[in-house]
């Protein structure tokens, strides 16, 4: 009998253990659901996008300002970490009432309440105003960013894309910048480089490839001597 009781004590989880297990499961489920691009509007009517990538997210406010930050999830709270240089800007993103003359104390993090309802992401800002966000197709994610690819010779190539359609790339470390244009049509992407800015004569003037929206990668064919497929990964910071 004593042996049976001891066995039951071992295999039966305590309320605290069971509660912790449920907490971890709910957090993991939320993490899976939130790894998308969400679009909504702030209370002033200006657009707001939240792009979640692993443990980093990109806050795009007013379709202009991009704030890369870290985040953590609990089943009920979205905790956003930003350095003090970003905290004032993030304050304006997630707060309704703020006087420009009001004293502002930089903070390292914001804790926001969130929940999912009818395929929407609802975020309560620190003024208890709910921001309703809708999932956006991953192809809608902008690719104007910094990208890095590992090359066969153990160097890296850094690729910059701007909103204006300008592009540049360089070999790391120490390479000179090459300038050109980029154009995207849905998944297809093409780069056209300026001949005068090429470092070597056998570099390819036209690069073509695909934007992998789910993996957040740009996959290109040959971009020069010794390359076949080159994969660029997005760099948030």
CATH class of 146-235: mainly beta
Phi, psi of 197 (to 5 degrees): -95, 0
Same fold, 15-136 and 146-235: yes
pLDDT above 70: residue 106 = no
Q: Which of 43, 93, 228 is nearest to 149 (CA)?
A: 228
CATH class of 15-136: mainly beta
Using one digit for the tens of pLDDT, what is the confidence trace for 140-176?
777 888 899 998 888 899 999 988 899 999 988 888 8
List the helix and strand counts (H, then E) for the chain.
3, 16
SS (H, E, C) 81-135: ECCHHHHHHHHHHHCCCCCCCCCCCCCCEEEEEEEEECCEEEEECCCCCEEEEEE
Does the pTM exceed 0.75? no
Q: What is the mean pLDDT of residues 174-199?
A: 84
pLDDT above 50: residue 201 = no
Band the pLDDT of 55: cuts 50, 70, 90. confident
Q: How do the domains of the chain map onto residue ranges? A: 15-136, 146-235
Which residue(s) pair with 69 in the sheet? 57
Contact 81, 73 (CB under 8 A): no
Residue that has been written with the tokens 């300002």 in this structure: 65
Does 58 or 84 have the greater pLDDT score? 58
């Amino acid at each position: 009998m004593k042996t049976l009781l001891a066995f039951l004590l071992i295999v039966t989880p305590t309320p605290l253990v069971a509660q912790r297990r449920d907490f971890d499961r709910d957090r993991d489920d939320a993490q899976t659901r939130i790894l998308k691009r969400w679009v909504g509007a702030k209370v002033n009517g200006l657009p707001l996008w939240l792009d979640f990538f692993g443990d980093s997210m990109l806050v795009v406010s007013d379709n202009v300002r991009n704030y890369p930050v870290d985040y953590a999830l609990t089943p009920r709270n979205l905790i956003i970490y930003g350095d003090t240089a970003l905290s004032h800007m993030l304050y304006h993103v997630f707060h309704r009432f703020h006087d420009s003359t009001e004293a502002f104390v930089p903070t390292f993090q914001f804790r926001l309440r969130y929940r999912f309802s009818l395929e929407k992401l609802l975020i309560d800002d620190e003024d208890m105003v709910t921001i309703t966000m809708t999932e956006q197709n991953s192809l809608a994610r902008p690719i104007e960013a910094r990208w890095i690819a590992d090359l066969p010779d153990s160097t890296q190539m850094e690729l910059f894309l701007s909103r204006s359609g300008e592009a540049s790339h360089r070999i790391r470390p120490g390479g000179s910048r090459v300038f050109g244009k980029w154009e995207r049509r849905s998944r297809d992407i093409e780069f056209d480089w300026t001949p005068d800015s090429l470092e070597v004569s056998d570099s390819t003037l036209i690069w073509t490839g695909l934007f992998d929206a789910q993996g957040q990668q740009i996959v290109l064919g040959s971009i020069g001597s010794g390359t076949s497929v080159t994969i660029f990964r997005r760099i948030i910071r």
